[in-house]
Structure 1
Amino acid sequence: MTVRPSLVRSIPFWILLVGSLATAAVGAWLTVDKLAVMSVGLSAGTATPVDVYVGQVWAIIGGILLATGILGLALTLVTAVIRSFVPVTDVEIIEALDWSDDEDALENAPVAETTPVTETAPVVEVEPAPQR
């Protein structure tokens, strides 16, 4: 039995993987879509300034998202490779506790005797001092 946790059960690893895939997919879609709209508009001669100038900005943002997603996928791969180089330590197996002995010990345990209180101090009532 190993103490090394599997990457399959690592929530941050899956968040990195899924987030990177989603970011790369959105970036690729955004870049391809905006460049296609710009290309068709410019070649047909019907492109408006909004299509050209705003389309360029959206294409750049899509390229940044695509690059970020690819970088995240590379980090996911590096994390998996580094995790494979971590040495595995063996787990020391200890013997199981015998709970039946505890029940027998509680039944035969001596009970401490209490002495009853026979005399108590008298209660003295104090009247409050008059206000000046």
Structure 2
Amino acid sequence: MNKSLTRSIGFWLLLVLSVASAAVGGWIISGQIGTMTSTLTDGTATGVEVYVGQSLVVVGAALLGAGVLGILLAVALTAVRALIPTAAPVVVEPIDWTAENDTSIDETPATTDAPTAEPVADADVEPTPAAEAETATTR
């Protein structure tokens, strides 16, 4: 896998969605906490502002936590990718077709002038008694 991390759509999707989630979560939390604080100190707080506000703060905290976790995951992926060594690129040099052939290498085919000897059965040699006994038992 020689694909660069910065060219990965999944990496950028993780990073952008994590930042967006953290931003939306922080915005929800700050808005609801601000509203609850001002209405509770004024004495004009209603049940909707207090109880629904608490639920929205929990939802905002979950979004903020997921966003921060995603950002940390993206940073960890970047660190791990930096530690993995990349393969050295293969360099292919172009062939110089205009150069003359190198004549230092002997390109003549190897030939053997010696005739090949075929095995010849000796008709003059008589078999030994052990060889006769061996051939008699195999027949």
Whether TM-score is above 0.5 comes out as yes
Name the CA distance, whole Å, in 1 between partners of 2:86 and 2:25.
39
**Which secondary structure does the structure 2 equivalent of 1:87 belong to?**
coil
- 1:89 and 1:73 map into 2 onto residues whose CA distance is 28
CA offsets 1:85-128 (integer angstroms, 9 cap, x no match): 1111123344679xxxxxxxxxxxxxxxxxxxxxxxxxxxxxxx
**Alignment-derived partner of residue 4 in structure 1:** 2
Seq. identity, % = 41
Report the counterpart of residue 120 of structure 2 in structure 1. Answer: none
Q: In structure 2, what residue type is equivalent to 1:25?
A: A
1:74-85 paired onto structure 2 within 5 Å: 74-85=72-83
Unaligned runs of 5+ in 2: 96-139
Task: Tell me the distance in 1 between the aligned counterparts of 2:48 and 2:82.
Answer: 50
Q: State yes or no: 1:64 paired with 2:62.
A: yes
> What SS does the corresponding residue of 2:2 show, helix, strand or coil?
coil
| Structure 1 segment 81-120 matched on structure 2, within 5 A | 81-94=79-92
SS of 2:34's equivalent in the other structure is: helix
> For the residues of structure 2 that align with 1:20 and 1:65, how far apart are their CA atoms?
9
Q: Which has the larger radius of gyration?
A: 2
**Secondary structure of the corresponding residue to residue 88 of structure 2:** coil
Supply the distance in 1 between the matched residues of 2:86 and 2:65 (Cα, whole angstroms).
34
Aligned length: 95
Which consecutive residues of structure 1, in runs of 5 or more, have no partner in the other structure? 98-132
Higher relative contact order (CA 8 A, sep 6+): 1
SS in 1 for 2:36: helix
**Displacement over 3 Å in runs of 4+:** 93-97
Query: Aligned equivalents of 2:4 and 2:57: distance in 1?
Result: 38
Alignment TM-score, normalising by the size of structure 2: 0.64
